[in-house]
Amino acid sequence: MVVAKAFIFEKQFNGFPQETDLKLVEEELPDIKDGEFLAEAVYLSVDPYMRAYAPRLPLGDTFVGGQIAKIIESKNPKYPVGKYVEARFGWRTHTISDGKRISEWSSPMILPDFGDLPISLGLGVLGMPGITAYFGVTDILLPEIGQTVIVTGAAGAVGSHVGQIAKLKGCKVIGVVGSDEKGKWLVDELGFDHFINYKTDDISKVLQEIAPQGIDRYFDNVGGEISSTIINNHMKNFGRIAVCGCISGYNEKSLPTATPVQGGLVTRQLRMQGLHCSRWEDRWMESILQNRKWVEDGRIKYRETITEGFENMFNAFTDMLRGGNFGKALVKV
């Protein structure tokens, strides 16, 4: 008999998540049936989207999230024992699955060969964040050599990857972050050209100094007044904007407000498009293989912020929401 640990969504978040909103429980799992497999979590992801999705989640369910899990028992030939899967099993240590799609999420995916790279990258540069960054840049932003690209949430898993791809495309890249330490990491290690600390810098003033001709491409992870400022005051005519998230408003108790952007969109004839990696599900392997090559060649660098222990999921989650992570935030079971 296998006993699984899981975090159950007990109470809807009211502003910033509280530890009492989730409950850690133990569950005795039944024997697997024909067509099923049993997977044991190795790494679990914590991501901003989890806070954004919370209002849609039923109370009493396992809290949402992706993980890398090892198949330890199987009666499904498509999922053999010993293989690792990336799956949306949520915050739980053990899961019985039949391999079918979970809600709008994809089916459990057996990890491709990462060579000498760690399997944890299946939740980072070789997983959803890397896929999002790759297609967000190559299919939506479509940057050209010599253009100026700005990325908000630039020290996170997606933003740090976006900026590096834009550099590979021959662009000048500016990252917006919440600390000088993060900004120096972007510039000194990842090759960004400039950073702006939104907590201490006047964004408009700095942009006028480092990008006086304006911004060609904007990858938006945060929304809010920062985005309004960039879109209304600093985009060039016919610029492109990829909207990946709105972190600035996820923990607000009421609908957040910001200066409207429609004026900037119309005046500068901008193209603004939201993105979700599920759109490119049939092309995921394209991005995984390209990102792997870039990582192996040293052209894309990554950083992981790893918290030890399944019991510390909530702490890792809230630390990430406060901006405590560099790159991908993970929990190692």
Band the pLDDT of 250: cuts 50, 70, 90: confident
Above 70 in pLDDT, residue 165?
yes
Handedness of CA 147, 152, 156, 159 (dihedral sign): negative
What is the reported pLDDT for 30? 97
Higher pLDDT, 250 or 7: 7
| 48-52, 76-80, 214-218: least confidently modelled range | 48-52
pLDDT, tens digit, for every residue of 52-101?
999 999 999 999 999 999 999 999 999 999 999 999 999 999 999 999 87
Above 70 in pLDDT, residue 32?
yes
Query: What does pTM read for this prediction?
Result: 0.94
| 112-121, 214-223, 249-258: least confidently modelled range | 249-258
Band the pLDDT of 103: cuts 50, 70, 90: low
Both structure tokens of 168: 């590979």
d(CA 36, CA 32): 6
| 54-58, 147-151, 250-254, 316-320: least confidently modelled range | 250-254
| Average pLDDT of the residues of the chain | 96
**Amino acid in the structure at residue 258:** A
- Helical pair 284-296 and 157-168, crossing angle rounded to 10 deg: 70
**What is the total residue count of the chain?**
333
* Residue closest to 223 by CA, chosen among 209, 236, 242: 242
- How much of the chain, in percent, has pLDDT values that exceed 70? 99
d(CA 230, CA 154): 15
- Gyration radius from the chain CA atoms: 20
Band the pLDDT of 251: cuts 50, 70, 90: confident
- How much of the chain, in percent, has pLDDT values that exceed 90? 93
Q: Give me the residue spans of the domains in the chain.
A: 2-124+304-332, 128-278
Band the pLDDT of 253: cuts 50, 70, 90: confident
Which fold would CATH assign to domain 2-124+304-332? Quinone Oxidoreductase; Chain A, domain 1 (3.90.180)
What is the DSSP code string of 64-116?
Answer: P--EEEEEEEES-TTS-TT-EEEE---SBSEEEE-S---TTSPPPEEPPP-TT
d(CA 328, CA 263): 35
What is the reported pLDDT for 101? 78
3-state class (DSSP) for residue 236: strand
**Burial letters 250-279, b for 16+ CB under 10 A, else e:** bbeeeeeeeeebeebbeebebebeebebee
- In the chain the first and final C-alpha atoms are separated, in Å, by 19
pLDDT, tens digit, for every residue of 172-210?
999 999 999 999 999 999 999 999 999 999 999 999 999
Q: What are phi and psi of 155, to 5 degrees?
A: -95, 5
Q: State the CB neighbour count (10 A cutoff) for residue 110.
A: 15
What is the reported pLDDT for 252? 78
**Amino acid in the structure at residue 148:** T
Band the pLDDT of 104: cuts 50, 70, 90: low
Q: How far is CA 90 from the centre of its chain?
A: 15
| Integer angstrom CA distances of residue 179 from 51, 164, 198 | 22, 19, 8
Mean pLDDT of 148-161: 97
User: What residues contact 241, with CB distance under 8 A and at least 6 apart?
Assistant: 217, 218, 219, 220, 231, 235, 270, 271, 272, 273
Is the domain covering 128-278 a CATH 3.10.580.10 domain?
Answer: no
* Residue closest to 51 by CA, chosen among 321, 322, 325: 321
In 136-173, which residue ranges form alpha helices assigned H by DSSP?
157-168
